[in-house]
Chain A
């Protein structure tokens, strides 16, 4: 216990809150970069053959990018809650706030990227039906939004 005391001093609450920020931003960021990455590879391959489809390919690519944004917003909100005299229990609570958006972002980002790649195949073969692919991909977004909303409520209420 002495060692922990020397390491963190009296700022244990702030440390835990900071870990919450890290989890919210990093986990959802990993999810988004994976999703945007694989969708981007497919979009680049498509643009090589049909450059005129750049705009719609970009929409499909950007869909998995929102998770990282949600994590970023929650991270900022947690940051605003941190104060020098906060209790350790408050720190724990803020750490937990980071988890819903982080974990849902981590798993939904990559999965949404896969659906976007499949949507890119619609764009390649039947461009008139691309919107359907965008909708399918947006469905995965729901679960990232749920995580985001829960994190948001936890911090606001």
Chain B
């Protein structure tokens, strides 16, 4: 797609960016003495209409999800390339697929767990999960659904739903990235998958998982080959650290090493990869054309939701301002 096709949508993105929460908002929320005072800061942000409601029932999750939902709806409307928004909202579709399969296999009503974000309606997904056929969903979705169904028919293990769908999610993402026909997007998605793989790898090593387990859960759609990652896992953590330092993610690995134990800490790694991703997104500020500003806005909004949830739950449970601050992700604006 020609980069000028994004001209008008990017102008709108700049308008929306003015409404993102900035450092000042976060600082004042952190400095607030109580949950109520922190929520009051939101009165001057797009969340203003929900302030009174939250103070009463403390149900801020609904507000944050609604905000995300609305953001995606707006972006689907303005983006000249729908596949792009589908790609970056795919995680919600896969979340919904997991819920649908669990409903089906365990006969529970899990309606409250759905996140209504995505290119295809939940009713479409539900029909496809129940019947195994769909006139609307593209082949990639159907492949995922069939794989889960076949596995369940054979082994009857509900836990496998998560594992299969997580792996299929990355494969699907990688394929969709190519379908967007944008030169930079596949590389970005590979980076994202690498980050997730690294996080999974380090966690699995901490838990002494088997080689077989790793082969099942790691994705082969990243830029570091899966075999290499599985090989790294067979060594101890400190030699794994030095091997990983030879990849292009050297600075991230170095920053995630815990100074006390000299090993990579999974929590720190997640923090560093999130921030590295945000730094990559900040390049979008200097671009007037192309898809990057839209993608960066999605990530900025998701980070805002993540940070707000952190602050509000921290305030609700009396965590100190510093304790919250050190866990907060880099902000876009």
Contacts and interface: CB of A to CB of B under 8 A. Distances in A.
Interface stretch (B3-11, B159-167, B240-248): B3-11
Contacts of A50: 15
A44 B8 contact: yes
Given A114-B4, A117-B4, A42 B289 contact: no
Contact of A42 (B8, B17, B18): B8
A63 B102 CA distance: 58
A138 interface: no
Interface residues of B, number: 14
Contacts of B18: 124-125
A30 interface: no
B193 to A, nearest CB: 31
A124 B238 CA distance: 50
Nearest to A47: B11
Nearest to A40: B8
B288 interface: yes
Given A44-B8, A45-B9, A117 B288 contact: yes
A121 B14 contact: yes
Contacts of A118: 288-289
A42 B7 contact: yes
A124 B11 contact: yes
Given A38-B4, A38-B7, A42-B7, A124 B288 contact: no
A141 to B, nearest CB: 18
Q: Interface on chain A toward B: helix, strand, loop, or mixed SS?
A: helix
A58 to B, nearest CB: 14
Interface string B68-103: 000000000010000000000000000000000000
Contacts of B7: 38, 41-42, 114, 117, 120
B50 to A, nearest CB: 22
Interface string A107-126: 00000001001101100110
B12 interface: yes
Contact of A117 (B15, B17, B78, B289): B289
Contacts of B11: 42, 45-46, 117, 120-121, 124
Contacts of A125: 14-15, 17-18
Interface string B5-35: 0011111101101100000000000000000
Contacts of A45: 8-9, 11-12, 78
Contacts of A46: 8, 11-12, 15
A52 to B, nearest CB: 12
A124 to B, nearest CB: 4
26 contacts: A42-B7, A42-B11, A44-B8, A45-B9, A45-B12, A46-B11, A46-B15, A48-B12, A49-B12, A49-B15, A50-B15, A114-B4, A114-B289, A117-B4, A117-B8, A117-B10, A117-B288, A118-B288, A118-B289, A120-B7, A120-B11, A121-B10, A121-B288, A124-B12, A125-B17, A125-B18
The 7 closest A-B CB pairs, nearest first, are: A45-B8, A118-B288, A124-B14, A117-B7, A125-B14, A41-B8, A121-B14
Contacts of B288: 114, 117-118, 121
A68 B15 CA distance: 31
A124 B15 CA distance: 5
Nearest to A44: B8
Nearest to A53: B15
Q: Which of A41, A48, A121 has the most CB of B within 10 A?
A: A121
Given A120-B7, A125-B17, 16 more contacts: A38-B4, A41-B7, A42-B7, A42-B10, A45-B9, A45-B78, A46-B8, A49-B15, A114-B288, A114-B289, A117-B7, A117-B11, A118-B288, A118-B289, A124-B11, A125-B14
Nearest to A57: B11
Q: Which of B10, B11, B15 has the most CB of A within 10 A?
A: B11
Contacts of A38: 4, 7
Interface string A22-66: 000000000000000010011011101110000000000000000
Interface in A111-157: 114, 117-118, 120-121, 124-125
B79 to A, nearest CB: 12
B302 to A, nearest CB: 20
A45 B15 CA distance: 10
A40 to B, nearest CB: 9
Nearest to B8: A45
A42 B8 CA distance: 4
